[in-house]
Structure 1
Amino acid sequence: MTERLGPDAVARAADLLRGGALVAFPTETVYGLGGDATNGQAVAGIFAAKGRPHFNPLICHYPDAEAAFADVRADDRARALAARFWPGPLTLVLPRRPECRVDLLAGAGLDTLAVRVPDHALALALLRDVGRPVAAPSANRSGQVSPTTAGHVLEGLSGRIAAVLDGGPCPVGVESTVLDLTGTGAVLLRPGGVPAEAIEALIGKVGRALPITAAAQTQSLRSPGLMLSHYAPGLPVRLGATGVAADEALLAFGPPLPGAAVTWNLSEAGDLREAAARLFAGLRWLDAEGTARGCARIAAMPVPETGLGAAINDRLSRAAAPRG
């Protein structure tokens, strides 16, 4: 059963999050489905609870700008925007620091991270108590309307998450603006609670991203809620491997195939949640280790097309797609 916690139960909600459980909580925009962003299995649980079809990057929430900028590289534009709009409904996409604490799955394996500081007293109290970045997409089943009350959350996720922290209705009711600052020019990836005009008044002209249909073809956007590019290994990827050659690096699922030059097992027990949590780290490790050992490719064993397996297979099919 999903607990419905009152606003005086922040400590209970924080304990659940630190323990790897999922807790929905209010922000000024919509209710977020929170999980410890440093815990790969907690992040995988977010995708499972939402029924999210792809491993889209998740927005990571922090109690203040200093905490956020410990995980990402902030330039003068980012610091100016944070000083003006944080706490508030603005998400900044910035390069990950090498020492970033956030699990790769939360950023969909990209070298960037979406971060924000919400403008909601209960959310900020929770984030301070947790003491870790909290990944939190909207607390609804994928494709459904975003929730602005605890009741909305329970309608879609009751029994799928540990708790919802009830802070009443969300005052803004639309998602945060998402701004990509990873290039020399700022790019608006998603309109939201902070108008583009207010951003431009502070940092100058802001570009507009490709339409989602065009982005799907180029796989060029980095925003939560849009079709995205993902980390692609340098080595080619071969799917559906039922045998493996001596010059191949093996991405195993379940009992590994014998004979590979090097192996990374997503889950020896065949657990899809564990596999999702280990996917991006495994691809990076196999790419580096396989390249060092002169491997010709990465061979990926089959993963069931059920639950999180669909998202894992979607990611693997992108990694295996022909290179332009």
Structure 2
Amino acid sequence: MTTSYDCTAAEQRAAGLEHAQRAIRENKCVVFPTDTVYGIAADAFSPVAVTLLLASKGRSRKMPPPVLIPRLNALDGLATDVPAEARRLAEAFWPGGLTLILHAQPSLDWDLGETRGTVALRIPADDVAQDLLTLTGPLAVSSANRTGHAAAQTAADAEAQLAESVEVYLEGGHRPVEGAEALPSTIIDATALPLRVVRQGAISLERLREVVPDLVDVDGNAPAEAVEPAAAEFVEPAEPVEPVEPAEPVEPGSESGAGSGAA
């Protein structure tokens, strides 16, 4: 049975988080606010739960969900061969609207879909999200909407689209703040150097390049000062990372090789 909780009220928030933790443990889906839009979440280490998440959205295994983590030290537990540049971006912009596509730890027993050995990771800058992640550990999360529809900016919006496919809805008010543009997280492919933006979103290219100056933009262009004069006419873009769904807003979500629909 679907239950909604008003997380702006302390007692309901506590009850909602407890129920959501139990639902995740039982391989069910929950919806909660992030700093970008609302996300639908499932246990990242349960293939059954991830399959339910994808089915709830009407999405195939070719569009695997990103994974939200509670703290920076979870990065090395889930990813391997993390470039120093990616680590600097994580330290600068997490928690926040940045998703990093990295090589997944090969020893992990999980199945997020057709990730090609990658995982998309993010720490959301939202108190409700962080409280839930602290209770559950890493969650596979995508924007709380049916594929092809607008990302939900309240739990009520999400429920109108996802209905009883979700066990728990945690309502935390409008995300982002009402009247603000609902921007997804910026997604960066950090599986090879130089790092490359594969979806522009909440964090601008200018801010990112303050931390990693040679970051390649979404069109495959390096910064002007990083291009040798003889190569200035053409900069070959990095190998594309699939699947990424630039048209749909993430995190919760939303929103791996992940990275599609990230909140």
Same fold (TM over 0.5): yes
- Give per-residue Cα distances to partners, 1:64-94, cap 9 Å, x unaligned: 1111321102221122111110000100001
The alignment's TM-score, normalised by the length of structure 2, stands at 0.77
Aligned with 1:75 (options 83, 100, 115): 83
Distance 1:223 1:54 in 2: 9
- Residue 197 of structure 1 deviates from its aligned partner by 1.0
- Give per-residue Cα distances to partners, 1:86-117, cap 9 Å, x unaligned: 0001000011112235x22x152411110000
**In the alignment, is the contact (CA less than 8 A) between 2:39 and 2:144 conserved in 1?**
yes
| Residue 140 (structure 1) aligns with | 145
Q: Which has the higher contact order (CA 8 A, sep 6+)?
A: 2
- Give per-residue Cα distances to partners, 1:225-269, cap 9 Å, x unaligned: 259xxxxxxxxxxxxxxxxxxxxxxxxxxxxxxxxxxxxxxxxxx
- Give per-residue Cα distances to partners, 1:269-302, cap 9 Å, x unaligned: xxxxxxxxxxxxxxxxxxxxxxxxxxxxxxxxxx
- Residue 206 of structure 1 deviates from its aligned partner by 2.0
Q: Find runs of 4+ consecutive structure 1 residues off by over 3 angstroms.
A: 208-211
Q: Check if 1:159 corresponds to 2:167.
A: no
| Residue 206 (structure 2) aligns with | 197
Higher-Rg member (1/2): 1
> Gaps spanning 5+ residues in structure 1: where?
212-218, 228-324
Distance 1:93 1:194 in 2: 15
- Residue 210 of structure 1 deviates from its aligned partner by 5.7
**In the alignment, is the contact (CA less than 8 A) between 1:31 and 1:153 conserved in 2?**
yes
Distance 1:66 1:27 in 2: 20
Which amino acid in the other structure matches residue 4 of structure 1?
Answer: S
| Residue 222 (structure 1) aligns with | 242
Distance 2:209 2:119 in 1: 22
Distance 2:92 2:242 in 1: 23
**Cα RMSD (Å) of the superposition?**
1.9
| Residue 28 (structure 1) aligns with | 35
Distance 1:164 1:37 in 2: 18
- Residue 53 of structure 1 deviates from its aligned partner by 4.4
| Residue 108 (structure 2) aligns with | 100
Distance 2:188 2:141 in 1: 17
Q: How many residue pairs get matched?
A: 217
> Gaps spanning 5+ residues in structure 2: where?
8-12, 221-238, 248-263
**In the alignment, is the contact (CA less than 8 A) between 2:5 and 2:169 conserved in 1?**
yes
Which amino acid in the other structure matches residue 149 of structure 1?
Answer: T
Distance 1:78 1:196 in 2: 14
How much identity, in percent, do the aligned residues show?
31
Which amino acid in the other structure matches residue 225 of structure 1?
Answer: E
Distance 1:140 1:178 in 2: 19
| Residue 6 (structure 1) aligns with | 6
**In the alignment, is the contact (CA less than 8 A) between 1:57 and 1:222 conserved in 2?**
no
